[in-house]
Amino acid sequence: MSTSMTGTAGKSEFKPVLWTPGDWNAFFGFGTNILVNMLVLTGLLRFVLKMPDSLVFGRILPALGLMMCLSTFYYAWLAYRLAQKTGRSDVCALPSGVSVPHMFIVTFVIMLPITIKTGDPLKGWSAGLVWVFFQSFILMIGGFIAPYIRKITPRAALLGTLAGVSVTFISMRPALEMYMTPQIGLVCFAIILVSWFGGVKYPKGIPAGLVAIAVGMVIAWGSNLFGLGLGGLSVKGVGDAFASFGFSVPIPAFGQVFSGFEFLGIILVTAIPFGIYDLVEAMDNVESAEAAGDEYPTTRVLTADGAVSLIGCLMGNPFINAVYIGHPGWKAMGGRIGYSAATGIMVVVLSWFGIISVLLALVPVVAISPILLYIGMLIGAQAFQTTPVKHAPAIVLALTPHLAAWAKLQIDTMLGATLDAAQAVGALAPDKVGAVKTAAIASLPQQGVLYHGLEVMGGGSILAGLVLGAIGVFVIERDFVKASAFALSGAVLTYFGFMHGEAVGVGGGLGVTPGVALAYAVVRLDSTRSANTAPAVFRFRIRRCRMRCRPNEIRKTAESGAGLPTPDSSAVRCQAATSHSRGEPRSSTLRPFGVMTAPPSVISASCSATRPSTTERFKPRRSGAGRRSAFSASHWSTVRS
């Protein structure tokens, strides 16, 4: 059987190919993505938390490598099973690795404060382990709830909030790094663009990701000959990196996990909301993979993330595993099954032999940045390309909380760095730091920076984007009952601080942000009122039937007083819309075409379908406050089956 086939083969005898030429592209792209994350993570442990190298390279990184290897191997196996089941050779494994947002959260919100408070990095490490311990169970339990959430949530909302993450937290930093060192960044970006978007093949089929990294290394090291120092690489740095060479395997850390329970109060405040964040993010990424053609079971994905995170935690890894954004990107590069397993092997070699620091000294990070920007571009575009055009406003609405969260993060980072610098040079007394920060934030509105608005809107951005996007979709579809349901969920989540709040709680009994919670409740009441007072209209449900009506002929027949023609007549021809089943009319839904009036009647007819085996009956439905006139409204309402 040809390895280049992308269609469907005989399922009983189909054996998926484990490695294809496209896997090289995906391996270098995804592998460098994982490498960058591991380098950043190592820097946080060594330079922010001040953990000793014996702990970082001897305990944490080996455990991290084990967790990620188990994860990538599992998703390669899941892809193999899906390819075997469907008989397709274009199935792409889900990308996975350490969760990047949580990498910063557990560092700066959990481990760093406890390390500073106790003066012991080991205490901070133990607290991080407990944090992951609880997160793991939230994921495993949530895996059984997530499919129901996906079923009722519009695709535009799921992919819209994911696009917000990709545009802000995935794309912006690499883009800025590229323009800080354009001699490397833009050149490597051009190499990737002409290949992955333009379809240009490099000599002997060399992957574009590898070409970009090689060119970036040549420019960076070559610039040292002229004293330019592009990329920040040096021979001395390479020599120092070899000091971390060694071999370490994961060792159980049960004692460290349970000793961290003394900080349980601090940990649970963030573990629960970010566990829910993980839940929603994983659902979004599974939805993204389904939009690209690969349908994975949500429950298995979430429980797998929870299980491998728990294993990593018990072996000493304070970072949680997650399915990554980017499946459509790696699939578009040609990635199938092998790239995921190969990345797992790479991670084990890097983490167990202490090679990470050497690679950091050899490869300029800016040469890898264009790959991350490419992934962000693809995910952002997918939200618009795989949903109905009329849902575009809802997608933009789902983006906005992430823009606010990203802008707030930039301001907070700038203020923190400024205050630290002022203290370092002796220009600011330590006891004045809080007062100065408060005064600086209070003065921002006078400069046109609405910090408080960014803080409220960006709180719990992934949940906020999902709820706002869902409300937008259902309002566009005039499904006000479902819009009101999501508005009510937004009110509840906001009341307890999961959305539009910086902490979980009840805020003295009135909610964390009572004004926003009340506003969502008002939206809910308004949507309910709109649903109850809408004019009486008939709604058609036509299941598994491909229909397209000729409205002019139907209108002419109806206005003549003869009532509506039966679907078997020449005035009606049917073909289903092919819209996705969540948030827009299903493939079995008759879309509105124009004004329809007719005498009161009860219509029941057989649908003449293009596939007689799927022919079913359809019945008009009445909505509104008990009106009985058929087609008394000025349009047909669109309904999801």
Q: What is the pLDDT of residue 557?
A: 45
- CA dist 118 and 260 (Å) reads 12
For residue 45, what is the DSSP state? I
Q: Coil, strand, or helix at residue 8?
A: strand
Q: What is the pLDDT of residue 452?
A: 93
For residue 18, what is the DSSP state? S
Torsion on CA atoms 382, 383, 384, 385, rounded to nearest 10: 40
For residues 27 and 335, is the Cβ–Cβ distance under 8 A? yes
Burial class (CB in 10 A: 0-12, 13-18, 19+), 149: middle
Q: How many Cβ atoms from other residues are within 10 Å of residue 210's Cβ?
A: 17
For residue 620, the cross-strand partners are: 540
Q: Which of 12-21, 95-104, 431-440, 577-586 has the lowest mean pLDDT?
A: 577-586
Residue type, 114: I
For residues 248 and 315, is the Cβ–Cβ distance under 8 A? no
Terminal C-alpha separation, the chain: 40
Average pLDDT over residues 66-91: 94
Pairing state between β 572-573 and 620-623: unpaired
CA 111 to chain centre: 25
- CA dist 158 and 587 (Å) reads 19
Burial class (CB in 10 A: 0-12, 13-18, 19+), 403: middle
Q: Between 424 and 582, name the one with better pLDDT.
A: 424
Q: What is the pLDDT of residue 424?
A: 84
What would the two tokens of residue 33 be? 């993505």
Burial class (CB in 10 A: 0-12, 13-18, 19+), 214: middle
- CA dist 516 and 457 (Å) reads 9
Q: Coil, strand, or helix at residue 425?
A: coil
pLDDT category at 41 given cuts 50, 70, 90 is confident
Report the helix count and the strand count for the chain, using DSSP H and E: 26, 8
What would the two tokens of residue 296 be? 């994975």
pLDDT category at 101 given cuts 50, 70, 90 is low
Instruction: Please calculate the CA angle 334-359-65 and round it to the nearest 5 degrees.
Output: 70
Q: Between 158 and 530, name the one with better pLDDT.
A: 158
Q: How many Cβ atoms from other residues are within 10 Å of residue 38's Cβ?
A: 23
pLDDT category at 336 given cuts 50, 70, 90 is very high
- CA dist 134 and 309 (Å) reads 10
For residue 15, what is the DSSP state? -
- CA dist 212 and 325 (Å) reads 21
Average pLDDT over residues 290-298: 89
Q: Is the dihedral of CA 469, 475, 479, 482 positive or negative?
A: positive
Q: What is the pLDDT of residue 534?
A: 54
For residue 322, what is the DSSP state? E
Q: What is the pLDDT of residue 539?
A: 41
pLDDT category at 276 given cuts 50, 70, 90 is low
pLDDT above 70: residue 209: yes
615: left (phi over 0), alpha (psi -120 to 50) or beta: beta
Which among 16, 82, 95 has a CA at the least distance from the CA of 343?
95
pLDDT above 90: residue 312: yes
pLDDT category at 244 given cuts 50, 70, 90 is low
- CA dist 353 and 248 (Å) reads 7
The structure tokens 């760093």 sit at 112
For residues 130 and 263, is the Cβ–Cβ distance under 8 A? yes
Q: What pLDDT digit, counting tens, does each position of 51-71 carry?
A: 888 888 889 999 999 999 999
Average pLDDT over residues 594-598: 34
Which among 608, 607, 597, 605 has a CA at the least distance from the CA of 562?
597
- CA dist 462 and 550 (Å) reads 42
Q: What is the pLDDT of residue 375?
A: 76
pLDDT above 50: residue 444: yes
- CA dist 548 and 597 (Å) reads 19
Q: What is the pLDDT of residue 420?
A: 84
Which among 337, 344, 272 has a CA at the least distance from the CA of 94?
337
pLDDT above 50: residue 554: no
Q: What is the pLDDT of residue 171?
A: 85
Q: How many Cβ atoms from other residues are within 10 Å of residue 139's Cβ?
A: 28
For residues 319 and 105, is the Cβ–Cβ distance under 8 A? no
- CA dist 326 and 29 (Å) reads 11
Q: Is the dihedral of CA 102, 108, 109, 114 positive or negative?
A: positive
Q: To the nearest whole percent, how much of the chain has pLDDT over 70?
A: 77
User: For 507-524, what is the HEC assignment?
Assistant: HHHCCCCHHHHHHHHHHH
DSSP 358-377: HHHHHS-GGGTHHHHHHHHH
Q: What pLDDT digit, counting tens, does each position of 359-405 carry?
A: 778 888 888 888 778 878 887 888 898 889 999 999 999 999 999 98
For residue 539, the cross-strand partners are: 621
Question: What does pLDDT average to over the chain?
Answer: 77
For residue 107, what is the DSSP state? I
Q: What is the pLDDT of residue 537?
A: 43
CA 198 to chain centre: 26
Q: Where are the alpha helices (DSSP H) in 242-321?
A: 254-259, 264-291, 298-314
Q: Coil, strand, or helix at residue 449?
A: coil
pTM over 0.85: no
Which among 63, 481, 90, 107 has a CA at the least distance from the CA of 293?
90
CA 47 to chain centre: 29
CB contact set of 243 (below 8 Å; sequence gap of 6+): none
